[in-house]
Amino acid sequence: MFGGKKLERTVTLRRDVVDSILSYCQIKHPNEGVLILKGKSKRGQISVNGLVIPPFSESGPTFAGFPHSFLPFDLSYVGMVHSHPSGSAEPSVTDLHNFFGLVSLIVQFPYKDESIFAWDSGGNPVPLSIQPEL
Ligand SMILES: [Zn+2]
């Protein structure tokens, strides 16, 4: 873990974005909720500063998704977040197949700050931090 010079990918979420994600997941429970993450990416540092409700999204207790082809091409879309009402924080095979953007966040039940996990397209964990209110 030490001395690695590899570019580490990290994700920073704004406090109000975290609150919005958590309340959206609570509203959708027991179904999965899915949202698009808006933000910026610079040298592996992804900062999320907004959310978009995807068009034509579908969700059920074990599935949440949206047809990517309906999305407008937008460079500010850095990834997506969805909830796992079952309580698992790990991405499913389907999640990895439907990977969108740079990072995928999964929020496990019961949807607290500590329930949010970030993953890359290979299913590897990405360190996540919450930016305090300015
Ligand atoms: Zn999932």
Q: What is the pTM of this model?
A: 0.86
Tokens for 97, please give them: 């197949």
CA 87 to centroid of ligand 1, rounded, Å: 10
Q: Whole-angstrom Cα distance, residue 53 to residue 1?
A: 37
For residue 27, with 0-12 CB atoms within 10 Å meaning exposed, 13-18 middle and 19 or more buried, which class applies?
exposed
CA 43 to centroid of ligand 1, rounded, Å: 27
CA 89 to centroid of ligand 1, rounded, Å: 8
pLDDT digits (tens, 9 = 90+) for 12-56: 999 999 999 999 999 999 999 999 999 999 988 999 999 998 876
Torsions phi, psi for 80 (to 5 deg):
-140, 165
User: Shortest CA distance to 98 belongs to which of 44, 41, 39, 34?
Assistant: 34
Domain 10-57+75-131: assigned CATH number: 3.40.140.10
pLDDT digits (tens, 9 = 90+) for 83-111: 999 989 999 998 998 888 999 999 999 99
Instruction: Give me Rg for the CA atoms of the chain.
Output: 14
Domains in the chain: boundaries:
10-57+75-131
CA 8 to centroid of ligand 1, rounded, Å: 24
